[in-house]
Amino acid sequence: MAQYSSQSDDELLLQLRNGDEQAFAALYRRRQGAIYRFAQHMSGSATAAEDITQEVFLALLREECGYDRERGTLSGYLFGIARKLVLRNLERGRADVPLESETDEVAPRELAVVDDPLAGLTRHEAIEALRRAVQALPRRYREVVVLCDLEELDYADAAVALGCPIGTVRSRMHRARALLLEKLHQDRKPRLALDAWKPMRYAL
Amino acid sequence: MNCPEFWDHLPQRGEDISEAQKAHLAECATCATQWEPHRALATGLRSLAEEWRQTDAPLRVEAGLMAAFRAQAGFQARRSQSLSWWRPVFAWTAAAAATVALALVLMRSYQPATASPGTVAAPHRTSQPVTQVADVEVDDDSAVFGEGFVRLPNAPRIDPNEDFNVVRVEVSGSAMIEAGISLSEDRAAETVLADVALASDGTPRAVRLVPDGGSY
């Protein structure tokens, strides 16, 4: 198996197409974690993530898999398949999907949060708070955060996976980070958030 | 560097700002204040990524994929052989070998490792009408695996609490007939789509023919 570790994804793909089972295993072991984590972050379900991971790699076995190295890396291509499967999965459970509106695409507001939203938390608490905040993001922002921040894809690969221009990835990242900071800030100051509703209640 | 330039040229990784940006933060209190939560967020996301990176897909996913790969590879080998110049000489031999290989894949966990191809290819139900046995098993196993599944020869009945995965593969019609699927003889030489139910250890337990429409 060591001989495969130095080979590129494209080389492994070529070998698996020629029936090399070890090449398929090597490629799977190299890429499965990121695909599985992406699917789990996006679907919120370990079971769905398992099915999606399986389907992504089964797609590589099909002759008409459609990967074109000129259009991006194999990693970006695999994420693209995973994303489509996630969307299909979310379509089936539409009731659980936060509704998104066109306003999600408007230019980001100026960031109102000026203090460290994770200050004073232990590392574990900070990670949990962040995990919840990422999970609460609308889907289109969650996917760029998972791809670019958590799985460390560059913007070009993320653009391939998402089927959009790099500029869109960049602007969504900017907006996603602003939303994450707002969410973390709200979670840290629930009393302030509740107080903000009081005048409305009195008005009613 | 001025303020708009600082914010317009943020790197993908939030912590990795350039020396010029660091110099701007040192002289601009407003940007420095606004930058602090971004820096904290980037650090937090990196920590989350490091912890999350230890999560992998369960091993049964790899086992299922390897089983699917072996089934698929058997067909590709048969197809490439059938296209070569010596096809007239070895066509029947290759087809028979592919069928035996598929039978081995489908039933590998239920046969001794040293079993001869002849032993593997001989279904244990030959004394009974195939269609009758298949009908009975469809009724029984549909409740466990889903509509249309037939338990493979010698495969133990799956525990209702046991996890299993279904993978879609291409197999020969003849292998499906041997597995007890009702398929006309004239499709024996064709490649058909099949769903294979794999136990949590990756061993195949049941199979069903995918209809021409492609889904159940």
Q: Is the pLDDT of residue B82 over 70?
A: no
Lowest mean pLDDT among A34-48, A114-128, B96-110, B188-202: B96-110
Q: Is the pLDDT of residue A65 over 50?
A: yes
The predicted structure's pLDDT at residue A197: 38
Percent of chain A predicted with pLDDT > 70: 75
The predicted structure's pLDDT at residue A101: 41
The predicted structure's pLDDT at residue A28: 94
- Which of B43-47, B103-107, B191-195 is most confident? B43-47
The angle formed by the CA atoms of residues B91, B94 and B99, to the nearest 5 degrees, is 125
Confidence band (pLDDT; 50, 70, 90) for A148? very high
Q: Chain A residues with CB inside 8 Å of B105's CB?
A: none
The predicted structure's pLDDT at residue A107: 44
| Mean pLDDT, rounded, for A108-121 | 55
Q: Chain B residues with CB inside 8 Å of A150's CB?
A: 45, 48-49, 52
Within 161-180 of B, beta carbons closer than 8 Å to A belong to: 165, 167-168
Q: Is the pLDDT of residue A98 over 80?
A: no
Q: Is the pLDDT of residue A32 over 90?
A: yes
**Pick the residue with more confidence: B122 or B154?**
B154
The predicted structure's pLDDT at residue A100: 46
The angle formed by the CA atoms of residues A97, A103 and A106, to the nearest 5 degrees, is 130
Indicate the residue type of B81: Q
Q: Is the pLDDT of residue B94 over 50?
A: no
ipTM for the complex shown = 0.75
- Which of A1-5, A38-42, B83-87, B146-150 is most confident? A38-42
The predicted structure's pLDDT at residue B192: 82
Give the nearest partner residue to B64 out of A37, A54, A115, using CB atoms: A54
Q: Chain B residues with CB inside 8 Å of A42's CB?
A: none
Each residue of B108-134: pLDDT tens digit?
545 443 333 332 332 333 333 333 333
Q: Decide if B49 touches A, using CB distance below 8 A.
A: yes
Token couple for A185: 């800030």
The predicted structure's pLDDT at residue B105: 61
Q: Is the pLDDT of residue A75 over 80?
A: yes
Confidence band (pLDDT; 50, 70, 90) for B213? low
**Pick the residue with more confidence: B155 or A83?**
A83
Q: Is the pLDDT of residue A108 over 50?
A: no
CA of A116: which chain B residue's CA is closest? B37
Confidence band (pLDDT; 50, 70, 90) for A200? very low
Select from A31, A57, A175 the residue whose CB has the most chain B CBs within 10 Å, as the one to mutate to test that interface: A57
Percent of chain A predicted with pLDDT > 90: 36
Q: Is the pLDDT of residue B194 over 80?
A: yes
**Pick the residue with more confidence: A17 or B155?**
A17
Percent of chain B predicted with pLDDT > 90: 1
CB contacts < 8 A (A, B): 112
Select from B41, B105, B163 the residue whose CB has the most chain A CBs within 10 Å, as the one to mutate to test that interface: B41
Give the nearest partner residue to A114 out of B37, B62, B70, using CB atoms: B37
Q: Is the pLDDT of residue A86 over 60?
A: yes
Phi, psi of B159 (to 5 degrees): -65, 135
Mean pLDDT, all residues of chain B: 69
3-state secondary structure chain A: CHHHHCCCHHHHHHHHHCCCHHHHHHHHHHHHHHHHHHHHHHHCCHHHHHHHHHHHHHHHHCCCCCCCHHHCCHHHHHHHHHHHHHHHHHHHCHHHCCCCCHHHHCCCCCCCCCCCCCCCCCHHHHHHHHHHHHHHCCHHHHHHHHHHHHCCCCHHHHHHHHCCCHHHHHHHHHHHHHHHHHHHHHHHCHHHHHHCCHHHHHHC
Alpha-carbon gap, residue A91 to A95, rounded angstroms: 9
